[in-house]
Structure 1
Amino acid sequence: MIVITIDQNAIEERLLPSLSPSTWWENFIPKKVNVFMWKFRLDRLLLRINLATRGINVASIQCHVCNNQLESMDHLFFVCETANNLWSRIKVWIDIDMPSCSSWYDWWQWFENIDQRHRKKEKIYAIGTATLWLLWRFL
């Protein structure tokens, strides 16, 4: 009989690098939102541009909200007028100086560099992920 032992930590370190924001999991966020954010960070959402690049026939790869640009992740969640208006309202609501971001990378860089206590930073992250989740559900 052959016994195979699996080192769970070795597997996780190889497949899920701990410093990668694409695998960041937060306990204070609902599981479905964590899964959404995981797919979001890896750019694996079922957007028209992603479907088309995988060979799936889609009628149009233009944004179905504004019909002005390609339906990419950055456009749909940050640049599109609907998303931009929502982010503007969120900034006013939470009363924080957040720049206009044109991509997830821009938002993440801003978030990583803000000087806030841990608890407040958690709240800002939760509001940011909830905003992205609601945009996804709405769009």
Structure 2
Amino acid sequence: MEGLHVVMLDAIDQNLFKGISVGLDANAVSLSHCFFADDALFLGEWGDDNVRNLICILNVSFCSKNGFFSVSLFRTLIDQRLVGIRPTIWCKYIPPTINFFLWRASLNRLPDKCNLADRGMVVDNLFCSSCSLLIEDFPHIFFDCTIATQGWAYISTWLQLDLPNWRHFDDMRNWIYSTQQNTNVAAIFEVVCYATMWALWRLRKRVYLRSEYF
């Protein structure tokens, strides 16, 4: 169920499935799915596209050729449906949750303060949750923040490589596969870089929640 939950969240984020709103205006709550121990309930707008996409998601999740959830089939579904959007990112050496995080990062759709403000959400301030020095956007969180630069410096020393000053997700990914001829070495570097990004994002979330509630 956890894998299907992650898939549904991403499908909603990409407008492949539209849930329903309960309540009025600012107090409205969006509902799309509820999972139980041995059952599931889906709630969404009544429409042909919504029904077709939900059927495709469920077919891919439970009716693959071997009877188990198939990541590759769901990736194919998303890549076919999202015309004009980059293909999904998948690294078989890391958990699914981190893969979906990386895909959203590559699209610059992570809920950092700048993106939240751009979507009309009320944000107390736009400064970085970790250092409070500059505006919190994707390049700052993962490459410019003092915590990020220290983290990449440790990684650089550990790998015994001079890492470039990346500005975007694609810069990092392209560097990994353009500088490493050996695919196994490139895969190791990929996992290390992705794990570093995930750790920086998790740290940012902990710091932000601590400042909100304590």
TM-score (norm 1): 0.82
Aligned length: 131
User: Aligned residue for 1:15?
Assistant: 81
- Aligned: 1:80 with 2:80: no
Aligned equivalent of 2:96, options 17, 31, 41: 31
* 1:129 matches 2:179: no
- The ranges of structure 1 where at least 4 consecutive aligned residues each deviate by more than 6 angstroms after the TM superposition are none
- Counterpart of 2:183 in structure 1 is 118
What is the rounded CA distance, in whole Å, between the counterparts of 2:116 and 2:78 in structure 1? 29
Q: How do residues 93-112 of structure 1 correspond to structure 2 at under 5 angstroms?
A: 93-112=158-177
What residue in structure 2 maps to residue 69 of structure 1? 134
Cα-Cα RMSD: 2.3
- AA matched with 1:101: W
**Identity fraction in percent:** 30
Could you report, residue by residue, the CA deviation over 1:90-115 in whole angstroms, capped at 9, with x for unpaired residues? Answer: 01111123212233233223223113
Instruction: Note if 1:58 corresponds to 2:123.
Output: yes
Q: How far apart, in 1, do the equivalents of 2:119 and 2:132 lie?
A: 21
Inter-partner Cα distance in structure 2 for 1:50 and 1:13: 23
If the length of structure 2 is used for normalisation, what is the TM-score?
0.55
d(CA) in 2 for partners of 1:11, 1:57: 34
C-alpha distance in structure 1 between counterparts of 2:203 and 2:180, whole Å: 31
Other structure's SS at 2:103 match: helix
Q: Which runs of 5+ in 1 are unaligned?
A: none
Contact 2:177–2:186 at 8 Å: present in 1 too? no
Alpha carbons 1:49, 1:71 under 8 Å: kept: yes
Preserved CA contact (<8 Å) 1:101 1:107: yes
Contact kept, 8 Å, 1:98 with 1:110, in 2: the verdict is no
Aligned to 1:42: 107
Local SS of the residue matching 1:122: helix
* Letter aligned with residue 135 of structure 1: L
Higher strand share: 2
How much does 1:11 deviate? 4.9
Q: How far, CA to CA, are the matches of 1:64 and 1:115 in structure 2?
A: 34
Q: Which has the higher contact order (CA 8 A, sep 6+)?
A: 1
Residue deviations 1:46-80 (CA, integer Å, cap 9, x gap): 11111100000010011122222210011110011
